[in-house]
Amino acid sequence: MIHNKVVAIISARGGSKRIPNKNIKLFAGQPIISYSIRVAQETGLFDRVIVSTDSPEIAAIAREYRAEVPFLRPAELANDFAGTAEVVCHAIEWLAQEGMQPKFICCIYATAPFIQASYLKQGYDKLVSSDATSVFSVTTYPYPIYRSLKITEKGCITMIWPDYENIRSQDLPEAYHDAGQFYWANTNKYLKGKALFAKDSLPVILPRYLVQDIDTAEDWETAEMMFATMKAKTEFKNK
């Protein structure tokens, strides 16, 4: 059994309902999965970059970008309820059957066009220099969540946490959310709990301009506008 390898697992299920063919839909002219594959390769960290999918079409495109697709995901892991942790465990089990248990794995989402090699490397460095189970990308909320509002059944606005109503926003603690890009894990520790979010997880903090959840058509359009702005800014700087 080989134990000293580092493997990227890119999860890319077929059959997306809200955005048809989401994982291979063209984003700024390229299949969106290509950004995750290309950046994983660019880091030089991985012995293998594997795409876990149930779709032959996704598999073919992933191979065009030089990712491995050594298996097709079973049907029970290809529905709307299959979680990331289950997909990662399946890939690790498949690798074990092939005689490899990676020392470290990194689950990368297929719809992460803003992913950057520097942050992936930062996550790896944090993991190997600590005793953490996992390290994953997070970013800050643009407004203090402790001042969040909700609409009641009568249509009125009320605070979710009224105790914070009179506390200045600058006095409230910073809050973070999952950035939905990558999840590094120590394989041995991960297999004990089979959860990417553990009590000893560490963060890689991303700037908000590199984070956009892509679940709806509006999300997609927003992400493309953000991407175009970043590209234009880079081109202007390089003139």
Over 80: is that where the pLDDT of 28 sits? yes
Is the predicted pLDDT of residue 223 greater than 80, yes or no?
yes
CATH code for the domain defined by 6-140+176-237: 3.90.550.10
The whole-number average pLDDT for the span 137-142 is: 95
Contact (CB, 8 A) for 14 and 55: yes
In the chain, at which residue ranges do the beta strands (DSSP E only) sit? Answer: 6-11, 26-27, 30-31, 48-52, 104-109, 134-140, 149-151, 157-159, 176-186, 202-205
> Sorting pLDDT into bands at 50, 70 and 90, what band is 196?
confident
Q: What is the pLDDT of residues 10-25, one digit of tens each?
A: 999 987 878 989 999 9
- Taking the chain, what is the end-to-end CA distance rounded to the nearest angstrom? 51
Mean pLDDT of 150-162: 95
Average pLDDT rounded to a whole number, residues 54-66: 96
- The 10 Å Cβ neighbour count of residue 90 is 19
